Structure 1
């Protein structure tokens, strides 16, 4: 990856030397702009968002330290190397406090300059990798939270335990430190709280979910999560007066066996328990927290995501297998539920 760099100096010879060193060596940087003073450079930074700025400390219109401070306020991502014709320790100290990577004296020594570039490049690569990993985890954790809350809402305790085993193993595979693992689990709890709020507005009926209670030790984190999920399940059971709504649970079992049929209808399942469709629909939503249609769709999309992990199935075959005879309708529904088309979902999981 090539990173963008601009130079700020009123000495043409210095800028020419920097340009030549960047061009002649494989530094990982490309020069995208030059400025002679801080005001011009500030506009360049606004327009180009450079990854690195190489700047003089003494410039007309705006001194180098003021310029650095203003750029940092606009874009904290930008890195700086300061060059100066003066060996001024006070300037160097202040520059380093502002997060400047290096302070070099003129005339620029090629070896020192290239070493500074290498230091900045390594820093940018590390930040980009961490940012990418963070982004990937947040996407995964959203999916995990949706699946966990779905199992909680359907009172599937064994599925909760299995899913937590899977999540914890993924974190162990990352070989992250305990502090990082705790932060990742905190992300999961935060997303779960959001998903639970989507399921019901009666959050006061559910246990207090406080991510600050998460243990510091890795070996205790998974058990804490399982216990938290089971506590929520127990509350949901009580809230629904579990055991007194056998008719709805009978229908849930039927749907789980037959949701892949294209024509599973509200009338059909209402007939199973001798209810009118309108009354059944009301009872089902009160019991399960979502409508009959949403429940069917959720089951189908969960199954579709599972099948999409297997590259032998074509997407239209998956649509037919889960009860969507109309392939465009399947694609539209999948994107509405996941934010991605089936093809995009496969790319996201690396297939």
Structure 2
């Protein structure tokens, strides 16, 4: 089924078009309806329709401007333009923008269905190249997102596996050799852009890709590994400062029961696994040990004040579960909170 968007500020017109398409075997499916060109642009970017049926005169963004705007991002989409008798000049202009046909209101069902049939055949003829292009763009976007995330998180091993999987998908889909090289060039650029949007650095690159198709995934892997090393080097420059900044944040917020490793890692712009490893390396203890030590040290201070109940102290330092607090306190100090109070002379 080919996707259709209808654009008209008259509900009755849209309802008529919908009924004609659904009740007849047209090969089309309406995926969205809009009242004006501005609304329709959002639908175009979301659904990438094969056909747009639009009124020529609408509020906000009129039909002609809307067609021009869509044409700037998609040269393949088909248009059927609707117009009144007094809008013939506008319709003539629309034809110059490459629309398939224009129909006068009120819509005559037999003319509308005949036009749909003609457009359907046109799209069918363009079907192979059109859909290969759409599929290729989709694969580039999804692959670039996944690969750029792996580079950002310094996941070198997983990165190589993912690039190999992408190459296998390309082979299975039977893309032409010339398109395969273009695919890798576009994928490379997309990954680089996504990474540079996440950092202030300009990533080094040498974009001359080899002619041999089999070498393309290795070439991309090599570039991505270079970026991983580059990011490691840049991060290490301010590495100690970031870890110390994280430690200060923990010291200021350890009393919050909702504090998590993921939250702190996000603040210093590191993946949780990488942050956990580097925190222990820099601080000499794990994130969990660091937080626990802060909480128990604070508990010791509060336990020396008889006005606080032990369960109140647990809640104050970030323990929602009182038994867990008692167990942890004894594990660290060798005493329960009550025993500790007696040892420091608090009854």
Tell me the TM-score range normalised by the shorter chain: 0.3 to 0.5
TM-score (norm 2): 0.41
Q: Mark the structure with the bigger radius of gyration.
A: 2
Please report the TM-score for the alignment, with normalisation by the length of structure 1.
0.40
